[in-house]
Amino acid sequence: MSRQGVERRAVVVGAGLAGLTAAALLQRRGVPVTLLESHALPGGCAGWFRRGAFQFAVGATIATGFEPGGLHEVVYRELGLQPEVTELPFCYDVALPSRTVRVWNDRARWREELRRCFGRSEARDRFWDQVESTARATRNASAGVPAMPIDAPRDLLDLALGGIKNLSSLAALPWFGSTVDDVMRSCGLDDAEHRTMCRAQILDAMQSETDACPFPNGALALEVYRYGCQYVQGGMGRIARDLLKAFLRDGGQAHFRRSAVALEVDGGRVVGVRDERGEVHRGDVLCALPGDATQALLPSAWQAPLQERSRRAGLGWGAVVLYLEVDERPLPEGHPPFVMAVGDSARPLHDGNSIFISTSPADDATRAPPGKRAITISTHVDAEAWWGLDEGVYMQRRDALQREMLSLADRAVPGLLRGVERVLPATPRTFHKFTQRPLGRVGGVPQTLETANFRALGHRGELPGLWHAGDCVFPGQGAVGVTLGAMVAARSMTRALRA
């Protein structure tokens, strides 16, 4: 693509999926980009690390969006990349206290599974009919790459053009003021364990509960697997490696182990980034960081405009993750690669009472040696509660939660505990150390009526020359969510830098 007309450079801070996607798209479109990353490897919370012969996914483990028209597929196609993914027939099992539900991709099979597990119910059918239609509208709206909130006339034009191309997307609009629980009640659905299943899925995807999550967001979280679910060969970190490869191929400059220490401001405009070596990289700046981390990079006189962004970043969850080296022999035959397990429906679904178990496939030799599996088990926690503890109390809390998580995992996957050969635990302190995210918060801002969609934080910065992407920016959570946010930011920056 011609670079004629490009007058300014871009600097991207953070090589997580959001930063890498934006950087690769900008570079592909002819905008010269410098990428800064404090860690040695790309991917951030969707990255990877190795311990001996085992390769673990840092956080994200399951993929959607590589199906035709999916957001990852769209990005890969523009970048000239060919993804290596395996389409899965079902996404995961939800192991509830009294039953296990298999989340099938095929819509008819999924409805039959609901009837098998929960019985026949007209109220439940009404609810899932509404989930299906609203999720379809929300997904069609996402295909138009909308920018929310509406911060500029061009955002309104983009939203309108997307609506014209996908008129069915307008069907989601009436539901933006309703929660998932609101719709359950309106359908006459009152089934405690069915609600627990929905709660667990929505907490995992949207970081919020069904009584707070906007229905369009929750519907998409519940229905997204009907459009496809994939395993990325080599694990989710493969996406980061692919994006970095395309970025460097197209001439981008990447600096790893190079922390940004300050945003340079001149006349009220952000004009570049100073790194830990004192080098200043000039250009418009895209911060693919949580809002509180971005605020800390600004001179104190310019921090006030980012206070709301910083406050919302503080609403996010932390995580405790166990990385397991496992002998596969005790695992049950046909063990699914992904399992979501709930211990007690009456308790809050965090701190070990709801976990997500991800197992590397036997045929992916990059993840574990023959006869072994790399397994991760994660749970939501209050990140702040893990700080300010003396070392003894901290270790006791970590070890107690580890025991609870392993016990629940062994109930959901019988034999798992007998196969465990090594456990590497990570707490919010660990995530802070390796990702530099304040207090080790991960997952982004919970999607609620007060924080999502038209009330979300947008990609345009509070100062000229500053842009945002990541899981604290619309639309938020998950690999697909941060990819959409990066696509929005890259589009706006391309227009601005060519103007």
Residues 452 and 493 in one domain: yes
Q: Band of the pLDDT at 499, cuts 50, 70, 90? A: confident
Residues 290 and 348 in one domain: no
Has residue 424 got a pLDDT over 70? yes
Residues 46 and 144 in one domain: no
**Is residue 164 in a domain?**
yes
**Is residue 91 in a domain?**
no
What does the pLDDT look like over 201-243, one tens digit per residue?
999 999 999 999 999 999 999 999 999 999 999 999 999 999 9
Residues 309 and 324 in one domain: no
Task: Say if residue 414 is preceded by a cis peptide, omega within 30 of 0.
Answer: no
Average pLDDT, the chain: 93
What pLDDT score was predicted for residue 6? Answer: 36
Has residue 268 got a pLDDT over 60? yes
What pLDDT score was predicted for residue 274? Answer: 97
What pLDDT score was predicted for residue 5? Answer: 38
Residues 309 and 448 in one domain: yes
What does the pLDDT look like over 56-93, one tens digit per residue?
999 878 899 999 999 999 999 999 999 999 999 999 99
Q: Band of the pLDDT at 168, cuts 50, 70, 90? A: low
Q: Band of the pLDDT at 3, cuts 50, 70, 90? A: very low
- Boundary-marking domain end, from 400, 415, 439: 439
Residues 393 and 493 in one domain: no
Counted domains in the chain: 3
Q: Band of the pLDDT at 165, cuts 50, 70, 90? A: low
**Is residue 5 in a domain?**
no
Q: Band of the pLDDT at 4, cuts 50, 70, 90? A: very low
Q: Output the 3-class SS for the chain.
A: CCCCCCCCCEEEECCEHHHHHHHHHHHHCCCCEEEECCCCCCEHHHCEEEECCEEEECCCCCECCCCCCCHHHHHHHHHCCCCCEEECCEEEEEECCCCEEEEECCHHHHHHHHHHHHCCCHHHHHHHHHHHHHHHHHHHHHHCCCCCCCCCHHHHHHHHHHHHHCHHHHHHHHHCCCEHHHHHHHCCCCCHHHHHHHHHHHHHHHCCCCCCCEHHHHHHHHHHHHHCCEEECCCCHHHHHHHHHHHHHCCCEEECCCCEEEEEEECCEEEEEEECCCCEEECEEEECCCHHHHHHHCCHHHCHHHHHHHHHHCCCCEEEEEEEEEECCCCCCCCCCEEEEECCCCCCCCCCCEEEEEECCCCCCCCCCCCEEEEEEEEEECHHHHCCCCHHHHHHHHHHHHHHHHHHHHHHCCCHHHHEEEEEEECHHHHHHHHCCHHHCCCCCCCCCCCCHHHCCCCECCCCCEEECCCCCCCCCHHHHHHHHHHHHHHHHHHHHHC
Has residue 402 got a pLDDT over 80? yes
Neighbours of 384 (CB within 10 A): 13
Q: Give the CATH number of the domain where residue 14 resides.
A: 3.50.50.60
**Is residue 32 in a domain?**
yes
What does the pLDDT look like over 239-248, one tens digit per residue?
999 999 999 9
Residues 429 and 329 in one domain: yes
**Is residue 4 in a domain?**
no
Say what percent of the chain tops pLDDT 70: 97
Residues 330 and 403 in one domain: yes
Residues 240 and 302 in one domain: yes
**Is residue 215 in a domain?**
yes
What pLDDT score was predicted for residue 89? Answer: 94
**Is residue 340 in a domain?**
yes
- Boundary-marking domain end, from 422, 439, 456: 439
Cα atoms in the 13 Å half-sphere on the side-chain side of 137: 22
What does the pLDDT look like over 111-139, one tens digit per residue?
999 999 999 999 999 999 999 999 999 98
Residues 330 and 357 in one domain: yes
What pLDDT score was predicted for residue 153? Answer: 84
Domain of 135, in residue numbers: 104-226
* 46/16 Cα distance (integer angstroms): 7
Q: Band of the pLDDT at 146, cuts 50, 70, 90? A: confident
What pLDDT score was predicted for residue 364? Answer: 92
Residues 321 and 310 in one domain: no
What does the pLDDT look like over 468-487, one tens digit per residue?
999 999 998 889 999 999 99
What does the pLDDT look like over 288-341, one tens digit per residue?
999 999 999 999 989 999 999 999 988 999 999 999 999 999 999 988 999 999
Residues 309 and 403 in one domain: no
What pLDDT score was predicted for residue 488? Answer: 96
pTM metric for this prediction:
0.94
**Is residue 120 in a domain?**
yes
